[in-house]
Amino acid sequence: MTRHLTQAQLHATAHVARYAGQYAPRTFDLPPVLHLATAGAYFAFLGFMGTAFMNPELFIPFAIFGTFIAMAFLVPGLWAKIAPQARGRHQSWDEFMREGIVCATGRLKGHEAIAQVMVLPILIVAWSTAILVIKLTL
The answer to whether residue 18 sits within a structural domain is no
Ordered per-residue pLDDT tens for the chain, 138 residues: 567 777 777 666 655 544 555 776 666 678 889 989 999 999 999 999 999 998 999 999 999 999 999 999 999 888 878 877 777 777 788 888 888 888 878 888 889 989 999 999 999 999 999 999 999 998
How far is Cα 34 from Cα 16, in angstroms, rounded to an integer?
A: 22
Q: How many structural domains is the chain composed of?
A: 1
pLDDT at position 73 is 92
In a domain, 14, yes or no: no
Task: Return the closest-CA partner of residue 14 out of 137, 122, 106.
Answer: 106
**Is 73 a domain residue?**
yes
**What pTM value is reported for the model?**
0.75
Containing structural domain, residue 116:
24-137
